[in-house]
Homo-oligomer: A and B are copies of this chain.
Amino acid sequence: MKIHFDDFIYGSIDGAVTTFAIVAGVMGASLSSTIILILGFANLFADGFSMAASNYQASKARNEFVQMKRKQEEWEIDNLEEQERDEIRDIYREKGFKDELLEDVVRIITSKRKVWIDTMMKEELGLIEDAKNPMHSSVSTFVGFNFVGLIPLIPFMIFMMIGIELNKDAFVYSIAGVCAAFFLVGMIKGKIVKKSMMRSGINTLIIGGIAAIVAYLVGYGLNFLVS
């Protein structure tokens, strides 16, 4: 099993945001920390699973789509040979080839079945095969989602275990933990896409922060309305 860092990162940002949105919504609505833990965990497992499953399906669908297109090109080369040869000719004419040299290029490209099909895939369809294993992608997403998504819940778990109901204190630790997590994950993301780590960390922190404030305000506002 290979952990894909990009999938891990996207899973972890989403996990932290959704879980913290529940924490912030509950706090905004002045509900109990029992509700935070119940819904936090329900969300971690349910949403983590669904995200991983969607990711699996999407990667698999993309691989299958590329394979299907490849089979289609193979069929066309077998059954509409002249037409496909003309397409190669058009592609290379576009690149600046002409006359005898163009014919030579077409002859060489179409003399190897694999080269012919690869050329059609890349040049005609703009498709490049992706070597990513859908299962690895999906597990990376799930692990990231649950690992980082757990952070906002930890202070509430600890406070509950030692038997004190200090929601506000736990909330402060939860905010600190999730901010640190957003910033760190954003920095790692910056490193992966080779951009400024500091800027990427701050960006992720801002997006996560806005989401959390929205959740808090909606929780607060709705609780005010209905009570």
Contact = CB atoms under 8 A, between A and B. Distances in A.
Interface string A50-78: 11011001100100110010000000000
A27 to B, nearest CB: 10
B49 A25 contact: no
Contacts of A208: 50
Interface residues on A, range: 35 or more
Interface string A210-223: 11101110110011
Given A42-B215, A43-B215, A50 B112 contact: no
A111 interface: yes
Interface stretch (A30-38, A79-87, A173-181): A30-38
A47 B25 CA distance: 12
A111 B97 CA distance: 11
Contact of A41 (B31, B46, B96, B222): B222
Contacts of A1: none
**Copies of this polypeptide in the complex:** 2
Given A105-B105, A112-B96, A42 B28 contact: yes
Contact of A39 (B26, B212, B227): B26
Among A26, A42, A96, A123, find the residue whose CB has the most chain B CB atoms closer than 10 A: A42
Interface in A194-216: 194-195, 203, 207-208, 210-212, 214-216
A211 B47 contact: yes
Contact of A31 (B35, B46, B101): B35
Given A38-B222, A210-B49, A219-B39, A203 B57 contact: yes
Contacts of A35: 29, 31, 35
A45 interface: yes
Contact of A18 (B31, B38, B47, B195): B47
Contacts of A123: 122
A24 interface: yes
A17 interface: yes
Interface string A164-176: 0000000000000
10 contacts: A18-B43, A21-B43, A22-B22, A24-B46, A25-B42, A29-B38, A49-B207, A50-B208, A53-B207, A65-B194
